[in-house]
Amino acid sequence: MQPLTRAFSAAVCRAFSARSTPVASRSILLAWHERQISRHLDHLAEVRDRTEGAGERLEAVLRAFAFVSHESRRHHDSDLSAFLHRDQQVTEAQQRLHGMVKDLLAEGARIGEVRDDIAPGELASYCLHALTAAGDLPSKAAVRRLVAVTLAGVRPAAGVSERFPGTGDSAHPPHHHGRHSAHGHRPAGS
């Protein structure tokens, strides 16, 4: 049994033992979960800090997050997970994680390793939401593929780097609406 699984099992047993009150049970579980979250964030910060290069740091942090998601989701049943993730500590941790990824994406965009046509905060949300799916994947190989696909979505397209006026940020490229013929012309009457 892995240390995380043993710790989780021990916390659940203590929390729901016949001698625990419901309030004590909740407190034990929340304290345990807070420590787990803190360890995960510290691990991601370590990965970030020991990796050189903006693109490499981003990839290393996203890969580490995906593997944390993959391992963590296996240890929670849905009722317990719902209870633990309502806590304010989780919201604050999600904000810290989002900020970390946003900063890595902004750094990558500044040096051309990450697309700059979408704001870093929006890309951070995309990455984190995509990679939480790692918890449902059957293998580490599948997690690695998910990370690769997610990273492909944030890499710059060849020859495309458009900033849009009035925002100071990057934005979506202009869209052409309407039907076009095979030769790129609008059909008559449109």
What's the CATH code of the domain at 108? 1.10.357.10
Q: Can you give the pLDDT at residue 2?
A: 44
Q: Report how far residue 99's alpha carbon sits from residue 119's, in angstroms, rounded to the nearest whole number.
A: 13
Q: Report how far residue 129's alpha carbon sits from residue 65's, in angstroms, rounded to the nearest whole number.
A: 11
Residues paired with 170 in a beta bridge: 163
Say if 18 falls within a structural domain.
no
- How long a stretch of residues is the chain? 190
Domain housing 70? 37-154
Number of domains in the chain: 1
Q: Report how far residue 183's alpha carbon sits from residue 187's, in angstroms, rounded to the nearest whole number.
A: 10
Say if 189 falls within a structural domain.
no
Alpha carbon 19 to its chain centroid, in Å, reads 38
Q: Can you give the pLDDT at residue 167?
A: 39
> How many other CB atoms are there within 10 angstroms of residue 128's CB atom?
20
Say if 20 falls within a structural domain.
no
Amino acid (one-letter) located at 39: R
Per-residue pLDDT of the chain (190 residues; tens, 9 = 90+): 344 444 555 555 555 554 555 666 777 777 777 888 889 899 999 999 999 999 999 999 999 999 999 987 655 555 655 555 566 777 888 999 999 999 999 999 999 999 999 999 999 999 999 999 999 999 999 999 999 999 999 999 865 445 533 334 444 444 444 444 444 444 444 4
Q: Report how far residue 72's alpha carbon sits from residue 70's, in angstroms, rounded to the nearest whole number.
A: 6
Say if 120 falls within a structural domain.
yes
Q: Can you give the pLDDT at residue 82?
A: 57
Say if 78 falls within a structural domain.
yes
Q: Can you give the pLDDT at residue 48?
A: 97
Query: Which tokens in the block code for residue 88?
Result: 């304010």
Query: Which tokens in the block code for residue 75?
Result: 């240890």
Say if 119 falls within a structural domain.
yes
Q: Report how far residue 128's alpha carbon sits from residue 114's, in angstroms, rounded to the nearest whole number.
A: 16
Q: Can you give the pLDDT at residue 72?
A: 79
Q: Report how far residue 28's alpha carbon sits from residue 24's, in angstroms, rounded to the nearest whole number.
A: 6
Q: Can you give the pLDDT at residue 23?
A: 64
Asked if residue 64 lies in contact with residue 47, where contact means CB atoms within 8 angstroms, the answer is yes
Say if 47 falls within a structural domain.
yes
**Helix (H), strand (E) at residue 2:** none
Q: Can you give the pLDDT at residue 111?
A: 95
Say if 161 falls within a structural domain.
no
